[in-house]
Amino acid sequence: MTTIGFCSTSTPITAISPKRFARAKAFLEGKGVKLIAGSLTGKQDHYRSGSILDRAAEVNQLIYNDEVGIIMATIGGTNTNSILPYLDYDYLNQHPKTVVGYSDATALLLAVQTQAPNCRTLYGPALVASFGEWPPFVNETWTAFEKIINTRHGHSVTIKAPTYWDDEAINWNDFERPKQQRPNQWHSIGASKLTGRIMGGNLNTIYGILGSNYFPKLSPNDLLFIEDAEKDASTVEKNFAMMRDAGAFDQVSGIILGKHALFDDSGTSRKPIDILLEVLNGQQIPIIYDYDSCHTVPMITTPLGAQTTINADDGTITFSRF
46 among known catalytic residues: no
Whether 138 maps to a domain, the answer reads no
Asked if 95 and 28 sit in the same domain, the reply is: yes
Whether 109 maps to a domain, the answer reads yes
At a CB cut-off of 8 Å and minimum separation 6, what does 141 contact?
A: 125, 130, 131, 133, 297, 298, 299
Instruction: Output phi, psi for 198, to 5 deg.
Output: -90, 135
Buried b (16+ CB within 10 A) or exposed e, 100-132: bbbbbbbbbbbbbbbbbeebbbbbbbbbbbbbb
Domain span holding position 278: 164-320
The Cα–Cα gap between 130 and 295 comes to 9
Residues in the chain, overall count: 322
Q: Which residue positions in the chain have pLDDT lower than 70?
A: none
Whether 152 maps to a domain, the answer reads no
At a CB cut-off of 8 Å and minimum separation 6, what does 100 contact?
A: 70, 71, 72, 73, 109, 121, 122, 123, 124, 125, 126, 145, 301
pLDDT at 1: 84
The Cα–Cα gap between 289 and 311 comes to 11
295 among known catalytic residues: yes
Asked if 40 and 116 sit in the same domain, the reply is: yes
Whether 200 maps to a domain, the answer reads yes
Q: Which of 103, 188, 253, 293 is catalytic?
A: 103
Number of domains in the chain: 2
Q: Which of 58, 133, 227, 237 is catalytic?
A: 227
Spell out where the chain has E strands.
3-7, 34-37, 70-73, 98-101, 120-123, 156-160, 164-165, 182-183, 187-189, 193-202, 222-227, 254-258, 287-291, 302-303, 307-311, 316-320
Domain of 110, CATH number, reads: 3.40.50.10740
Domain of 291, CATH number, reads: 3.50.30.60
Whether 263 maps to a domain, the answer reads yes
Q: Which of 10, 130, 293, 295 is catalytic?
A: 295
67 among known catalytic residues: no
Asked if 176 and 314 sit in the same domain, the reply is: yes
Domain boundary among the residues 111, 132, 153 is at 132
Other CB atoms within 10 Å distance of the CB of residue 66: 8
